[in-house]
Chains A and B, each alone.
Chain A
Amino acid sequence: MKHRALASFGVMLVGIAVFALATRGVAGQAPAAPATTKPAPAAQAAKKWTAPRTPDGQPDLQGYWTNSTYVPLERPDKVTKAFYTEPEFAAVVKDAAAREAEQTEPGTIADVHYDFSQFGLDRSQSAFVKNDLRTSMIVDPLSGKMPPLTAEGQKRAADRAAERRRNGATTDAVQNMPIGTRCLVMAGSGPPMMNAGYNSNYQIVQGAGYVMILVEMIHDARIIPIDNRAALPGNMRQWMGDSRGHWEGDTLVIETTNVNGKNPFRGSSERMKVTERLARVDANTLSYRFTIDDPATWTTPWTAEAPMTKSVGPIFEHACHEGNYGVRNTLAGARLEEKLAAESAAKKTSN
């Protein structure tokens, strides 16, 4: 059985043209209202772009997309403005690339983990949302940071931390390891859908009455029904919750409830409600805006923007669990270390 070298796929990706997102605010000024993308004067003068339709008459969001970005969820502490200048943003990208290159320092644990300069793991080599000059994804609150936690939210965070300490080291058992390491679900699925560090790829396919968003890792197919169905009953909980969609004009609005609380987004509770808004801004851009409403955790709802840019397919199968040697080898290594330490201690005692 022969298969092509990935080099040919690499050639495909290198040929990507990455398109500017028209998100340029006046440098140094915070916007007066929660920011959406601000068209540059030239774009405003151009004809208004209308999303094409699928053969079934839905606005067409289909294609391969990526939300790979250098914009953090929260504004960095030392930054006070909402938009970088272009040179400042270029410096941010350069710093991030340098930090990732450090991880290839021979002899370090980081070097054994991943080589981030390798094609496919290097964000700057593949498509990413360029020229999104915002200093944070969060647009509301205007601080660019999540709102304060409620008392219940603080207590839950403390309880979870205490439980983690009680459970022991991450190498004691698979259940102590991060959810993504266990191949259960990853950040790209959410909801909300966050960039995953690498493989931040999506494929949208629309059929009659449904929008399907295939998240590359871990081959999660978000199947959003476009009808007025009720949410699942309260006793039915899922890792990705239960999503229902409807169109508001050309914007797909997805409402998600019924999360099981086992993979809490940023410390959220089971009562979290996520509202996502997805729309085709132009041929190569999807705007993506999500609001987190969880009064059990935050004093107010909060909203972030994480646009997607056109990418190139195909999406490869991400058989995470099937190939999960990381968990097996990490646990086996820890048990071996313990065994050797015990043997060494026994020798000392008997001497």
Chain B
Amino acid sequence: MRRLAAAALAVASSVLLVSAQAPAYRAPRTGDGKANLNGIWQAINEANWDIEGHSAAPGRVLALGAEDAIVPGLGIVEGGPLPYLPEAAAKKKANFEKRLAADPEIKCYLPGVPRAMYLPQPLQIIQSQKHIMMAFQYAGAVRTIYMDEHVEAPADSWMGWSNGHWEGETLVIDTTGFNDLSWFDRAGNFHSDALHVVERITPASADLLNYEATVDDKKVFSRPWKMSMPLYRRKEKGARLLEFRCVEFVEDLIYGALRKPGTRTP
């Protein structure tokens, strides 16, 4: 009787094992046999306003009325409020209060990671064997994911230094080498130059990627935390990244006070 029960248990476990191992979706292959992530993708969420769950709220600029009001969102952070260290929590609050002056997105600065992934503008993945490039419509930002030779970040940058590898169908990207100048969103969530992001991108269907990022920053947060969201394929005929060369649009904002008195923008 015990032998029969043990055998039944073994069969049941192996059945469970098989179904747990079977991938839910197998993407088409690139020429070198990897999941094909090429294409134009975009997040549909409100994370760029605030990566944490939040209600609608008034905007920053009176004259923009409802167009600038904060759009509500469930948030993309898993497992409760962001675990800020006490001094960092105070800085986040200060960031929020002065966000009109301080949010780097307003000045068309490079968005950093992971913010680039959930901006309300498309991104394009161009995938080769040795490099996976991510190009972003916003500010023409670019990420290079080194798939072949992995070295340590040789210098700090806004978009970080990304080393990638495949774990089955999942692209795993390990990014360090950030400066401390970008934010996570318009709400003032921020990081230091100790930021370390590990992303996992898995095709979930022909037009869907599952995106996860684990964020670790010992100078700002008491523990690592995780965010997750879908990335949707842009399906329109002729879909492409257009130019959002926003430097031109912010010059008067940044340098207007230094214009020669008595002159004005033509």
Contact = CB atoms under 8 A, between A and B. Distances in A.
Contacts of B240: 223, 225
B247 A182 contact: yes
Interface string B235-266: 00010111101011001001100111001011
Given A173-B255, A322-B158, A207 B181 contact: no
Nearest to B128: A205
Interface string A208-251: 11101010001111010100011000001011100000000000
Contacts of B155: 3-4, 6, 316
Interface residue range, chain B: 35 or more
B82 interface: no
Contacts of B129: 55
B259 A317 contact: no
Given A210-B38, A230-B238, A1 B32 contact: no
Nearest to B154: A4
Interface stretch (B54-62, B134-142, B164-172, B224-232): B134-142
B255 A328 contact: yes
B87 interface: no
Interface string B139-177: 011101010000011111111000000000000000001
Contact of B30 (A4, A55, A321): A55
Interface stretch (B70-78, B119-127, B203-211): B119-127
A173 B158 CA distance: 27
B193 interface: yes
Contacts of B153: 3
B96 interface: no
Contacts of A206: 126, 128
A62 B241 CA distance: 21
A319 B157 contact: yes
B260 A317 contact: no
A146 B194 CA distance: 52
Contacts of B238: 229-230
Interface in A180-196: 182-185
Given A172-B260, A225-B240, A331-B259, A319 B110 contact: yes
Contacts of B125: 207
B181 to A, nearest CB: 7
Task: Indicate the member of A9, A219, A332 with the most B CB atoms within 10 Å.
Answer: A219
Contacts of A317: 110, 142, 157-159
Contact of B255 (A210, A225, A331): A331
Nearest to A332: B258
Given A175-B266, A239-B243, A214 B142 contact: yes
Interface residues of A, number: 59
B234 interface: no
Q: Is the interface of B mostly helix, strand, loop or mixed?
A: loop
B128 A327 contact: no
A203 to B, nearest CB: 8
A208 B38 contact: yes
B131 interface: yes
B247 A321 contact: yes
B108 interface: yes
A61 B174 CA distance: 27
A219 B128 contact: no
B36 interface: yes
A223 B159 contact: no
Contacts of B140: 218-221
Contact of A167 (B30, B178, B245, B266): B266
B20 to A, nearest CB: 31
Nearest to A183: B247
B177 A3 contact: yes
Task: Indicate the member of A163, A169, A210, A334 with the most B CB atoms within 10 Å.
Answer: A210
Contact of B31 (A1, A56, A203, A205): A56
B36 A208 contact: yes
Contacts of B102: none
A225 B129 CA distance: 19
Interface in A148-190: 163, 167-169, 171-175, 182-185
Nearest to B176: A1
Contacts of B126: 205-207, 210, 212, 223
B256 to A, nearest CB: 9
A6 B242 CA distance: 34
A214 B154 contact: no
A134 B225 CA distance: 59
A101 interface: no
A205 B255 contact: no
B241 to A, nearest CB: 6
B251 A221 contact: no
Ranked 9 nearest A-B pairs via Cβ? A55-B31, A331-B258, A207-B126, A317-B157, A56-B31, A55-B32, A172-B260, A221-B135, A1-B193
Interface of B: 30-33, 36, 38, 108-110, 124-131, 133, 135, 140-142, 144, 146, 152-159, 177-178, 181, 193-194, 238, 240-243, 245, 247-248, 251, 254-255, 258-260, 263, 265-266
Given A208-B31, A223-B124, A317-B158, 10 more contacts: A1-B156, A54-B31, A55-B32, A173-B255, A174-B258, A212-B133, A220-B140, A221-B135, A316-B154, A322-B109
15 contacts: A1-B193, A3-B177, A55-B30, A55-B33, A172-B259, A182-B248, A207-B126, A208-B31, A210-B124, A214-B133, A229-B238, A238-B245, A319-B157, A319-B158, A322-B181
